[in-house]
Amino acid sequence: MYKSILVPVDMSADGFSDKAIEHAVNLLADGGTIHFLRVVPGYQMPLVGSFFPEDAFAKALEEADAHLAKFIAAYFKQLTVDYKTYTLEGKPADIILRTADKLRVELIVLASHKHSRVEKTVLGSIASKVVGRAKVPVMVVKNNI
């Protein structure tokens, strides 16, 4: 059992976050905390950012954070689990690893999308980057849908 678990949450329709959450809850020790992380890809590069109003990114982060909080609160209606939510901007694998280090979690639980061999080669995989670079154990919850 783990006292501190990080669960990156993909809010896309096929993100399978619920399956990762289920595993994390089952691995959480009494009195432990689950840290839910949503990573929003940044668009604050000067070239990209110039096309948006100044406060657009801040509003996008606030909206993403509210969406995450609502999703997690709905999931834990019946359960009493100590959890915290975070919404950060950047490259997903880098932010996941940096957050795991900062929070000193004991385990990272993340869902893996079903990708073809070509997609994995061309796009890379957040899960494989996290597994390869993490300083703590990583549980990858496979989704074969």
Residue ranges and CATH numbers for the domains of the chain are 2-142 (3.40.50.620)
* DSSP reduced 3-state for 139: strand
Kindly report the number of other CB atoms within 10 A of residue 41's CB atom: 9
pLDDT beneath 50: ranges in the chain: 118-124
Beta bridge mates, 40? 89
Please give the structure tokens belonging to residue 60.
């996008």
pLDDT tens for residues 23-57? 999 999 999 999 999 998 776 555 555 667 778 77
Question: Taking phi first (over 0 means left), then psi (-120 to 50 degrees means alpha), and beta for anything else, what does residue 90 get?
Answer: left
